Structure formats: C-alpha cells, structure tokens
C-alpha cells in the first residue's frame, strides 16, 4: 500500500509518505511534489518514517525535486528515514547529497540558519504579501533617445537613428535593433528591452524571433540602434518580493504597490515574475518612411491598426518567467514634459518585457540580481513586448530605482 499526504508545519510543506515508493507509486509522488514546487514552495520535508521500501524510480523523483529546488536556492529535507531507505541511499551514494534530519527541532534550526541577514520589512498590501528591503542609494539618472513623435505617421529615416552604447545604459526600453549599416537593419527595428546591460529586441517582421546581445561588465562595447526609447541607471533603493495571497495580481495593482513602497515621484522598475496570463503588444512593421500607409492615415487608426499592431485578444504565456523594465510616475499630469512624452498615451507606467522560458523562480530578496542574470542569460526568450496593465502574475520580485527627472 502507498499513501501520500501533505500537511503544514513550521510554515513549510511536509509530505508524509507511507508504504512503497516504486515504479507504481512514484508518478503520484512526482505529481504531488511538482504541484507544491509549482505553487511556489521552496522548502519541503519528506517524512519517510513509514516508508518501508524505495526503488531507483522513487529516488529519481526526489533527485528531480532536489535539482529543481537547488536551482532557486530551495531545499528538501529527508525526515526520519527508515533503515531500508538509508541502505538504498547509501548504495546510491546519495546520503551526502540529501539533507537527512532526525527531529522537528533539527529542521527548525536549519530554517533559522537560512533566514536572511537583511532587515526585511514584511506586510500585506491589497491582499498581496510583500517583503522588502530598503537601501541607501543616490538618485538614478533617466536617459531618453530619439523621439516617439514620428511613430504614428511612420516618418523615421536614417537621420533619426540614435546610437546608444552598452556601457551607457543599464536598463531601458524602446524601438531599437542591432547592426552596422542602415540599409541592412532598417527593417529589423522592434520592441526592445535592456536589463543589466543585456539587450533584447523583437524585430517587426512577419515571423519575428527575439535577437539579443549579452554584455559582461568590462567586456566588448556594443552599439544599440534606437529610433526612440529611454533608459535609466542607478542603484536599487528597494528590492522586494511579492505573492498574491489568493489568486493572482495584475500589473495595474503592482504599480500601486510600488508607489506605496517608494515615496519618489519617478521610479525605474525592474520586474521578475511568474506569469499567470500575460498581455503584451508589439509592432508588426517598422515605422520608417518607406512603410508609410498608402491611405495617408496614422498607423494606429482604425483602418491600419490590425496591419501594424499585434494586439492580444486573450492572455498567454502562462507559467513563463517575465522580465520587465520601465518607468512609473506618481502623478503623470505633474511630470516633466520629457517624462510625459516617454509615457505617451499609456497610463502612469511604460514597461517592456521579455517572455522567457517556463522555469522555477527564486524569491530570496538577496538573490534578486543573481536571478536576473540567471534568467536573462540562461533561459530561452520568446518575445519582447510592451506590457499591458491587465497582465497577471502569481509571485515574483522587483527592484526600484528612484530617478531624477
């Protein structure tokens, strides 16, 4: 007989396994553990005190969970394993890999030892569980490139291209591309995003695929070509993690939360989150002179919109990792003319996001920057789009840079 029961203790999930873990029961255990990990639990206890047999099929389930959790600084503890299970672990040379514990007090001590040394403020805002740390940092700089004024009439030409180098921009968005000669790259502009100096863009062509340039600090200096956009540099004033306590949270509400955490008038935002329904839009053509609509109307007019803009009719990218960068302003009508132009017709925020692969996401505040590096340099990326406010997320992290401007 086999049974598997999940319970809560010490604010973590315990999986009580009774009977045999073999090729017949392993799939059920695998489903249970995947559901817990997928739901965001990063510390699990496998109570094997009543497990009388485990085969290599069972060990494979635990190894898979172990590898997935380690990737996001998680852990699985083996609680009170029986002699039979210990023998199999020793035969497989796994006793030095798994953490074996004999008492609840031992687990409690391990959990205490893993707590963050940062001064973390915890609370609830609008049904969203929030942890954040505040850092001392000077105000960051806001940069703007080119002008968005020519988009609607598709009036850009070679003289409008602005070259921005990789060491000049830390984070940013815009309509941009890569290349050396205008006649080669003029038809490849698209929604672009820069995160920690790494550049991603989604060419406005019939079958787009994200192209990117990863830049290490002190490495080669790359040139990014913009028709228009903005960037920001600076150190984080706040780093936070969030999780919706019941259901999911959309971007509109997250923006309100960020403005409650930071008192600044203008924020540079870097978001790393798990999608539960992503809404993004992008151009399907490059707004250069050669592509001007023959009817003489704007590309966003009713007659031309469908030919020029990929606009979603339903959310997508469920369970994908989303990385976004952009601006939030507290009072749009009181912002500078430059900021208002950068926000355009959008609300009080303007973010571009990369849609990365389905993967577990770490949620330790102190690992935020490392997680950004891991996701943007190791996971596949499928799209870069302008993010709409109705995009939903289950949990994630964000960095806030307070900006001058």
Position 126 confidence tier, pLDDT thresholds 50, 70, 90: confident
The arithmetic mean of pLDDT across residues 119-140, rounded, is 91
Q: Which domains does the chain possess?
A: 2-113 (3.30.750.24), 134-402 (3.30.1330.80)
Other beta carbons less than 10 A from residue 81's beta carbon: 22
**pLDDT of 219 strictly over 70:** no
Looking at residue 11, its pLDDT comes to 87
**pLDDT of 117 strictly over 80:** no
Q: Are 387 and 251 in contact (CB under 8 A)?
A: yes
The arithmetic mean of pLDDT across residues 228-257, rounded, is 94
Of 98-112, 226-240, 325-339, which range is least confident? 98-112
Q: How many Å apart are CA 267 and CA 139, to the nearest integer? A: 10
Q: How many Å apart are CA 238 and CA 261, to the nearest integer? A: 8
**CA 287 vs CA 156, 215, 223, 256, 266: distances in Å:** 6, 28, 21, 33, 29
Sheet order of strands, 75-79 included: 2-9, 12-21, 43-54, 75-79, 99-101
Looking at residue 115, its pLDDT comes to 61
Looking at residue 45, its pLDDT comes to 95
Residues of the chain with pLDDT > 90, as a percent, come to 77
**pLDDT of 74 strictly over 80:** yes
| pTM for the structure as a whole | 0.85
**pLDDT of 304 strictly over 70:** yes
Q: Bigger pLDDT: 266 or 218?
A: 266
Q: Are 352 and 271 in contact (CB under 8 A)?
A: no
For the segment 309-342, what is each residue's pLDDT rounded down to a tens digit?
999 989 999 999 999 999 999 999 899 999 999 9
Q: How many Å apart are CA 32 and CA 302, to the nearest integer? A: 49
Position 363 confidence tier, pLDDT thresholds 50, 70, 90: confident
- Bridge-based pairing of strands 392-402 and 349-358 is unpaired
Looking at residue 180, its pLDDT comes to 94
**pLDDT of 174 strictly over 80:** yes
Looking at residue 344, its pLDDT comes to 82
Query: What residues pair up with 323 in beta bridges, in sequence order?
Result: 272, 354
């Amino acid at each position: 007989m086999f049974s598997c029961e999940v319970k809560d203790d010490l604010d973590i999930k315990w999986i009580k396994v009774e009977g045999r873990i073999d090729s017949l029961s392993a799939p059920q255990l695998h489903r249970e553990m995947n559901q817990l990990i997928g739901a965001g639990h990063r510390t699990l206890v496998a109570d094997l005190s009543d497990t009388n047999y485990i085969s290599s099929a069972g060990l494979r389930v635990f190894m898979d969970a172990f590898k997935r959790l380690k990737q996001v600084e998680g852990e699985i503890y083996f609680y009170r394993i029986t002699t039979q299970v210990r023998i199999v672990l020793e035969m497989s040379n796994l006793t030095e890999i798994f953490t074996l514990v004999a008492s609840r007090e031992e687990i409690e001590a391990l959990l205490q030892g893993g707590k963050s040394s940062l001064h973390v403020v915890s609370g609830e805002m609008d049904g969203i569980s929030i942890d954040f740390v505040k850092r001392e940092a000077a105000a960051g700089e806001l940069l703007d490139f080119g002008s968005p004024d020519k988009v609607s009439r598709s009036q850009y030409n070679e003289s409008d291209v602005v070259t921005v180098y990789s060491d000049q921009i830390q984070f940013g968005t815009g309509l941009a591309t890569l290349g050396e000669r205008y006649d080669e790259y003029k038809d490849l502009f698209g929604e672009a995003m820069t995160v920690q100096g790494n550049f991603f863009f989604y060419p406005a062509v019939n079958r787009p695929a994200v192209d990117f340039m990863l830049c290490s600090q002190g490495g080669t200096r790359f040139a990014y070509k913009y028709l228009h956009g903005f960037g920001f540099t600076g150190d984080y004033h706040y780093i936070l993690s969030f999780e919706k306590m019941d259901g999911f949270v959309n971007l509109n509400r997250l923006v309100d939360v960020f403005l409650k955490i930071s008192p600044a008038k203008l924020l540079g935002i870097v978001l790393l989150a798990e999608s539960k329904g992503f809404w993004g839009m992008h151009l399907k053509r490059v707004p250069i002179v050669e592509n001007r609509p023959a009817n003489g109307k704007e590309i966003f007019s009713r007659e031309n919109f469908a030919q020029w803009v990929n606009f979603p009719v339903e959310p997508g990218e469920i369970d994908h990792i989303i990385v976004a960068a952009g601006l939030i302003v507290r009072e749009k009508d009181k912002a500078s003319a430059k900021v208002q132009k950068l926000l355009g017709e959008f609300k009080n925020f303007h973010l571009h996001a990369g849609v990365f692969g389905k993967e577990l996401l770490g949620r330790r505040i102190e690992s935020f920057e490392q997680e950004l590096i891991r996701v943007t340099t190791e996971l596949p990326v499928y799209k870069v789009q302008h993010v709409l406010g109705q995009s939903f997320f289950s949990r994630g992290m964000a960095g806030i840079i307070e900006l001058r401007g």
